Structure 1
Amino acid sequence: MNKYKNLLSWVVIMVFMMTIMLPVTPAYAAFSVSDLLGQATAANDSSVATGMSTGKGMLDILLGLLLGKFFGNAFNGSTTMVTKDNSASGLINSSPKEFVGFYAEWWGADTSSYNSMVKNTDVIKTIAPFWATMQADGTVIDRGGNDHAAVVKTAQQKDMTVLLLVNNAKQDNTTAPVHTVLANPALRTKAIDNFEAYIKKYNLDGINVDFEMVPAEDRDNLTAFMRELSARLKPQGLIVTIDVFPKQNENNDVAAAYDYAELANYADKIMIMAYDNHGMWSGPGPIADIGWVENNLKYALKFIPKNKLYLGIAAYGYDWSAQGTQSLEYKAIMDLSQRYGQAVQWDDAAKSPYFSYTAADGIAHTVWFESSESIKHKLALITKYDIAGAAMWKLGEEDPGVWPILRDKFHK
């Protein structure tokens, strides 16, 4: 009997010695039975070539579980554990995500963005109110709307960052106003002076530059502008962001002015406007075909760090007919569907909803739009590629059903 006890004691001692001699597993590793079994399987597969016994794989599992339990408890609470995402991609999602709401008031009494903002303060981390337009002489025109100071105060009390969204005046002759400013160092400085004054007037947290249809020849000028803007605002603790057109190569004329890699050196956040795949300049089609969105995102990630990249998503739709193309918010689209008794269809390839109807005047219409279901598929890309977050144009136009989905992913 004593002989067996001695033998058992030696076995316990040997197992203990083997345990302490094993390499210590890093504290940040994710311990799970499936992870360990996966590692053991890989080891067993390679053992065919190396002559290692499968018994070592089983011992590794037992010792791994023991060490995992021990070190997991030891470091619990002091180290953030990397968790495996449950999305279909199966990729690791380790960074917090931010939801940005673009904010606009189309007339003085338009409170749709404000109402959406105050209802969802637990989701929205940043708003970018569309309050200013840069002119060809570097001045900044206030677009009007509701009481700016009251909006800023409400947002900041709810722990939201407020960025001034400033766009460029549209071309009304042979020379684009944005080219006039960007190509002239003195006018760039004047515009930056005016942006800074506006930000300080309303106690804003930074700026969102939304320069669109910038001539390709101004690629370096736009970069210089963002470098100078950053040098002015960032030392004051202000946030500098920019919206960019999507692209999948550098041959896209309307997006050529955005030097993704260079802009990433100066912008804290870059919102890729991955919508308007079809719009007022085209025939009917998806606002943001999921394949098109993903390809644009993958291209952007070649140049922009993922922790600075935000996926722009739409909340609206378009109605195409022989009379022209009209942009509509979700509620108006649903009203059309019900009025003409047309059920919403689903394009599974594009992951987009649509329907057609014939108006009372006999004119045929086709409507494509964004819904909670279509947006859900785009949000999955944020998880798949582990980018910084999403930016939605605009608050107040969305399908109300999208908020539970956003709340699940972006809850502050």
Structure 2
Amino acid sequence: MKRNRGGLIVTCLIILIVGAILLWFKPWKLAEEPIKPPEAKPQPTEAAAVPELSAWLADWEWETGLADLKVMKEGLTSLQLFASYFGAADQLHFTEEFEEALPEILKLYAPVELQSLYLTIVNDQFQENGAAIQKSPELITRLMATSESRSKHVDELVAAVDRLGFGGMEIDYEQIPDADWDKVLLFYSELYQQLQAKGKALRIVLEPKVKIEELQLPEGPEYVMMAYNLYGYHSGPGPKADLAFITGLADRMKHLPGKPAMAFSVGGFDWDENGKVKALTEKQAALLLKETDSDLKRDDASGSVYFDYTAKDKLKHQVWYADEETLKQWNDTAQQAGYSKVAIWRLGELEETSLDYLKEYVTRK
């Protein structure tokens, strides 16, 4: 009996000690401080890609373009010099303005930075009398006619960009006849191979009307889709682009190889009631707004601004143009669709607020 009674006492003591330990650690606090699972690291997506910005500088507005370039240079991944056309004999033609501008542009670039300069070739043709045919389809047909004519053209292009020491070339051939597209695709491929052999890049600009869904564009070049010309010389008043237009182009651009860029056009147009159209830079439009003391309105569908005024000749006018808020909405729409590479047509008389926005755009992560 004494041994059993002692065992009972020991058992009770053990229970009391365990209970005391449990009370000391207060396990009920676990409910107040649940263990947090490790946070999942966000995975990068295409839409979150770091923005890239390129721009064109045109020979006929090189001085104002150069002023904007001095502000924007550090934020640009590349600069396209819109400066090479064709002469009457289908040969490359450089304007006097380009020859004058080039030394001033090169002052801003160290030799190692020339890789970010591209020479843009456009199918405008100057006649012997000085008249110009813009975006000549007939020129394209002649250049692409045979393997020999294509090869001669490719050789001339490669020699030009090699002589200048630029890092790349851009082809901006527009109004391409449907019947010539098969040969143009061969030209793109042949030019890309020749440039690549010399360590140089190729960019190709495409009009919105090009049937990219049906074309087998070659891999390798960087493609740039023109997200403008919705309204312009060919139409009545309206924005150069609207958000639905940009979204639709972005969806179609899935058919392009690589990682294409989307090009936006700054500035705007002035339409009078007789249908006469005049192009305006952003600064010209803003000055006209101030001089006419007009009411500025913003279009929800495009982000563009517009105003009406009556000129001294009593004709009614309507002006549409893009400001920094317009650029923001266009860029945001493109980014939401997965396209963070943007090209700006063109430098020259951008307002300071737009320049500031573009600088901020390329520093966003």
TM-score, normalized by the shorter chain, greater than 0.5:
yes
1:168-247 aligned at under 5 Å gives the runs 168-169=123-124, 171=133, 176-247=138-209
Query: Which residue is equivalent to 1:101?
Result: 55
**Pick aligned residue for 2:262 from 311, 323, 327:** 311
Write the letter of the residue equivalent to 2:138: A
TM-superposition CA deviations, 1:114-158 (whole Å, max 9, x none): 111111222112100012114575521112322424423523469
Aligned to 2:245: 292
CA contact (8 A) 2:84 2:95 kept: yes
Instruction: Look up the equivalent residue of 1:207 and give its one-letter code.
Output: M
Contact 1:152 1:162 (C-alpha < 8 Å) held by counterparts: no
The separation in 1 between residues aligned to 2:20 and 2:161, in whole angstroms, is 80
Q: 1:246 to 1:362 in 2, by over 3 A?
A: same
Measured after TM superposition, the shift of residue 287 of structure 1 is 1.1
Mapped to 1, the partners of 2:145 and 2:94 lie a distance apart of: 23
How far residue 82 of structure 1 moved from its aligned partner, in angstroms, is: 4.0
Higher-RCO chain (CA-CA 8 Å, sequence separation at least 6) = 2
The structure 1 residue matched to 2:288, chosen from 322, 326, 336, is 336
Deviations 1:319-372 (A, max 9, x none): 112261111111111121112111211111222111111110011111111111
Instruction: Among all aligned residue pairs of Structure 1 and Structure 2, give the percentage whose two residues are the same amino acid.
Output: 21
CA RMSD of aligned residues (A): 3.3
Q: Which amino acid aligns with 2:269?
A: Y
One-letter code aligned to 1:166: I
1:315 and 1:397 in contact (8 A); partners too: no
Instruction: Give, in whole Å, the separation in 2 of the partners of 1:132 and 1:368.
Output: 30
Quote the Cα distance in structure 2 between the aligned partners of 1:178 and 1:402. Answer: 36
**8 Å Cα contact 2:247/2:337 also seen in 1:** no
- C-alpha separation in 1, matches of 2:112 and 2:362: 15
> How far 1:266 sits from its partner (Å)?
3.4
**Higher mean C-alpha deviation, range 186-195 or range 201-210:** 186-195
Structure 1 residues 397, 259: CA separation in 2 closer, same or farther (over 3 Å shift)?
A: farther
Q: Deviations over 1:291-322 (max 9, x none)?
A: 11211121112x125x5211111111011122
Structure 1 or 2, whichever has the larger Rg, is 2
The 1:175–1:118 alpha-carbon spacing in structure 2 relative to 1, beyond 3 Å, is: closer
Task: Say whether the 8 Å CA contact 1:286–1:369 is kept in structure 2.
Answer: yes
Structure 1 residue 198 displacement after superposition: 1.2
**Using a 3 Å threshold, how does the CA distance of structure 1 residues 207 and 4 change in structure 2: closer, same or farther?**
farther
The 5 Å alignment of 1:2-401 reads: 3=18, 62-65=35-38, 68=39, 82=43, 93-106=47-60, 110-134=62-86, 138-145=90-97, 146-156=100-110, 159=113, 161-169=116-124, 171=133, 176-247=138-209, 255-256=210-211, 262-263=216-217, 265-267=219-221, 269-301=222-254, 303-305=255-257, 308-321=259-272, 322=274, 324-401=276-353
* Distance in 2 (alpha carbons) for counterparts of 1:205 and 1:131: 16
